[in-house]
Structure 1
Amino acid sequence: MAQVLEFKLPDLGEGLTEAEIVRWMVEVGDVVAVDQPVVEVETAKAMVEVPCPYGGVVTARFGEEGAELPVGAPLLTVAVGEGADGHRPAGDPGTGGGAVRAPRAEETGEEKTSEGSGNVLVGYGTSEAPARRRRVRPERRASGVAPGAGAAGAVVSGRVNGRARAAEPVDGPVPVISPLVRRLARQNDLDLRELTGSGPDGLILRADVEYALRAAAAQGGRTAAPEAGPHPAGPVREDAAAAAVGTVSSTVPPGGVRTPLKGVRGAVADKLSRSRREIPDATCWVDADATELMRARAAMNAAGGPKISLVALLARICTAALARFPELNSTVDTQAREVVQFDHVNLGFAAQTDRGLVVPVVRDAHRRDAEGLTAEFARLTEAARAGRLTPGELTGGTFTLNNYGVFGVDGSTPIVNHPEAAMLGVGRIVLKPWVHEGELAVRQVVQLSLTFDHRVCDGGTAGGFLRYVADCVEQPAVLLRTL
């Protein structure tokens, strides 16, 4: 007898709560083996192939390509055991029916109706159970609470079967459907304790928060939730909702192309915004004569063996400089009000890909020579462009090297890669007139910039670090003192 098992989107680590389906690797009706990759998903960190822990016949898929699913949401069902080849659960679309789309956590204000059934499926989830589904009896649809209109109960008392439910004070953490809802409220200075959730057991949905923000905007742009009061039963009136939406988006001109901030782009936006909010950064820069460094690299590569990249030499200079100025290889623990100094260097480097900017991390860079650094940079860059970087290869950095010179740029004031304390920027190496040994000459000049967290050190330390880096660029033999 065949048994149908449900495979849910697993926890992908690094605190990730959702993923976007990029490509299905199996169809309904396909036979899969244990640990066979069945879907490729994109998280805020990387693209990952997800293997299925069951072997059998795929009976259903949940989620179309491009859909976002929370961790714990159903991905597919597999019929295992004897007779699995001919198994088809009731209502399954089969091979010709296509994929069945699972509700996403952020869409919990919408109801998904199952064909041939009088019940309505409403998807919702929490951090403990992100993908539970409940059945709502048909009579609730006729009770005055329309799909997606449960947000009305977020600001006033909820309504079930036409009867008002009084708001109750909340003790302890406010129950919300997902971390996205909590973040949305935090970004708009909205106190979740002032809301009454329209979800089961008072769970606050995304629709609840969005309605509260629209209502606040309609009443004069207040960011706090409106006071509890009577609200028309049933769906929000279209004219009021339209006016509220118009107020919120009045600063955005019509037309244009809208691109959602999600995936890698969304993660970069969140991290850079946090860095700007939390880190009091400062930048210093210096021009350096890189002629001797370029000659040294040419000599290394002429001697045979693996070619040494310029970024590897700059990375080696960085690790030597951090050994002299360890204050810049640190982070700030804001809760403990302490500066945490690391005893190792995990060197991040900015890499531009088709999916956006990513920062792969070279582990224990201080223990690698120029050849080892060159090989690791090449491996991580290739993986970044192919979207195969793991979450572990994108986190844990202690210092970042940003070679924006590859874009033909001379200088920059980079944003520190939170939660690190500093970033070295390297501009393009270009021929310029330069005073060399007392005479005017044409030399290969580069601009170096250091952006640092002013909480971890003062300008003297930052200037000393940058000057040492410049000295090594101008006279590579200085590195021999630390080798």
Structure 2
Amino acid sequence: MTTVDRTQVFLLPDLGEGLAEAEIVEWRVAVGDTVTVDQTVVEVETAKAVVDVPCPYAGRVVTLHGAAGETRPVGQPLITIAPLDGDGGEPAGHAAYREEERAGSGNVLIGYGTGHGGTGRRRRRPRLAIAPEPPAVTPAVAPAPAPGPAPAVAVAPAPSPVQAGASTPAAHPAVALALAPAAGTGTGSALVISPIVRRLAREHGIDPATLRGTGPGGVVRRADVEAALAAPATPLAPAPRLAPVPTRPEPARSAGDEDLVIPLTGIRKAIADKLSRSRREIPEVTIWVDADATALVQTRRAINSATPDQPVSILALLARICLSGLRRFPQLNARVDTEGQRIVQSRGVHLGIAAQTDRGLVVPVLRDAQLLTTRELSVALAETTTAARAGALPPARLTGGTFTLNNYGVFGVDGSTPIINHPEAALLGVGRIVDKPWVVDGQLAVRKVTQLSLTFDHRVCDGAVAGGFLRHVADCVEQPALLVANV
């Protein structure tokens, strides 16, 4: 609430579900009109629904911020209210209401909130009605006030058993306050104005009718609920005597026990920004398949036995298989140009290799990897990952990839649903190669098995293309001889 020369500015409240703005559909009041607490002043339309917005202040309308058809952001001024003449134009109890609103979470639309969506109809808050003389009260509803020089304040709803027989303290010699029961609460309502107080009592299982209000006119305030929570509970029956349980002293905390705060800066911040953007922009899908890698392991062993001075790694063979698959399915070697509303397929394969370093995860790129032989791929991969871990790669080597290969099997895990390296369109993940039971020619055998997962951008292709690529990769892992036809 902003107060300038005793005026009150009502800000557009949070309408829930992360909505950041609303369009004004129709004003229900005009400048100069007099409004009451909780009166609907404007109808707005959000991305979810059309909502009636009530104003928590009473007084005269000074300014309407925005015209019909204008979009207003949450937290910006919506309407300015000036107090009525006299002592501020504030009926009894309204000051207590504003005090409770300030003690809460700020500008929250009554009946709507940040944690749960609103409904078309909202429950009305109890109102304070000012009468020139005390209302008649029958003995069946409440005990008659004791005769005296000043009339007493009487509560219209029937008192709860705790309050039966207790007279309500007088508020003013010439004014009596009658509380209208809230809809759906029955006949035992308490003098509660603030929805925050009502919610606090409900969350802790406290009946407001059992509380003694300390606010003006007996209004139950937040402090009354908190005092009830702090008060010891009265047992229904005498509790059996138990031996005192010794309390264990809390261990002393040293300076080393404090939370470790790591600033999100440098490469860690760049990684966070890129991954967040990927999840925010790319509708990714992950598919996977188990593959028998026994023949792939045997092929690598045979190559290294023939040329021990020029060994080939499993990662190099997997890179060669990916290049073969991208040649058959070039849709995955692409990116989406959101500004130009187009898909761009790259002519060359700039292969990214996910590498874990002391500074975080980086993806160095082998440009035009399709032009390299399998041995050249193995040498380039070894040199690139070593330089990346040492932090010796220039920034140009860490960007510009068109497809990423992620060998998370080196960490001893079987599968993953990796995040695509934005702005690429696909990523192949490879789990660990481990001995597992496998059926070969109808017989159970122990084989070298790995799990292959493909995460792809569903905007660049459909499941048929992605499934065809992954199946081709799995077939080449199981039968490396298939690569000969494509090399």
Structure 1 length normalisation: TM-score? 0.49
Structure number with larger C-alpha Rg: 2
Larger RCO: Structure 1 or Structure 2 (Cα < 8 Å, ≥ 6 residues apart)?
1
TM-score, length-scaled by structure 2: 0.48
